[in-house]
């Protein structure tokens, strides 16, 4: 995603604390207090303009959602998407780095993680930056409930192959794998901005659902 500087972004974000949570580390282990219920929590790491997480929150009112995005110039678009959609009480955003999830969530805080069209970091020396690298899998496992899941979409075949190998090597259960999502889309599929763009061009969208498994049960 090409980032354009938006000098008004910081003030805009600060003006919407009901959407973008300030000081999220204060809510670690207590996210049910933020939402006012004990519904399961799903997070999207790299939420972009917010179309996916907004659509998911609207479609599933009994699940709480948090979209995570680092850049001011991007997260303001997600805030605008949410404002345009109207009142969505089960959705919040965090302006934080996805590599720091352990600072904001503790074990069992999260039930499911979504990774959509993440940066493929194609150079081998940058492999550790890929959001499906073993180091990130350890991070997700540390905040997820037992048998928590990762749902992953990409248009990048190289990243998809890397992710399959990474998750398999980690000992995760691959529950569903699609090499062309839109040839047989799952019920209730919510598309991201990139997904709409690439699928309209006829490009295949790769998708997988994987689940952490207790090592002693392998």
Catalytic residues: 119
Residues written for the chain = 218
- Which residue, among 178, 171, 184, 167, has the nearest Cα to 215 in the 3D structure? 171
Identify the burial level of 80 via C-beta atoms within 10 angstroms of its C-beta, where 0-12 means exposed, 13-18 middle and 19 or more buried.
middle
Q: In the chain, which ranges are E strands?
A: 41-45, 64-68, 91-94, 110-116, 144-154, 173-178, 206-211
| Beta carbons of 43 and 35 less than 8 angstroms apart | no
């Amino acid at each position: 995603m090409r980032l354009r500087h938006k000098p008004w972004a910081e003030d805009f974000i600060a003006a919407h604390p009901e959407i973008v949570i300030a000081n999220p580390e204060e809510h670690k282990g207590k996210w049910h207090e933020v939402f006012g219920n004990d519904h399961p929590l799903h997070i999207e790491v790299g939420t972009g303009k917010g179309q996916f997480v907004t659509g998911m929150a609207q479609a599933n009112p009994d699940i709480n959602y948090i979209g995570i995005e680092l850049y001011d110039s991007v997260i303001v678009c997600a805030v605008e998407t949410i404002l345009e959609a109207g009142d969505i009480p089960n959705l919040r955003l965090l302006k934080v780095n996805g590599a720091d999830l352990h600072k904001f969530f503790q074990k069992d805080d999260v039930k499911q993680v979504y990774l959509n069209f993440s940066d493929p970091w194609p150079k081998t020396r940058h492999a550790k930056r890929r959001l499906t690298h073993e180091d990130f899998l350890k991070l997700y496992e540390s905040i997820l409930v037992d048998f928590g899941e990762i749902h992953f979409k990409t248009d990048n075949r190289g990243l998809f192959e890397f992710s399959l190998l990474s998750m398999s090597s980690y000992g995760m259960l691959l529950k569903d794998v699609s090499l062309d999502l839109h040839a047989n889309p799952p019920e209730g599929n919510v598309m991201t901005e990139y997904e709409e763009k690439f699928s309209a061009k006829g490009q295949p969208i790769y998708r997988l659902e994987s689940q952490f498994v207790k090592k002693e049960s392998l």
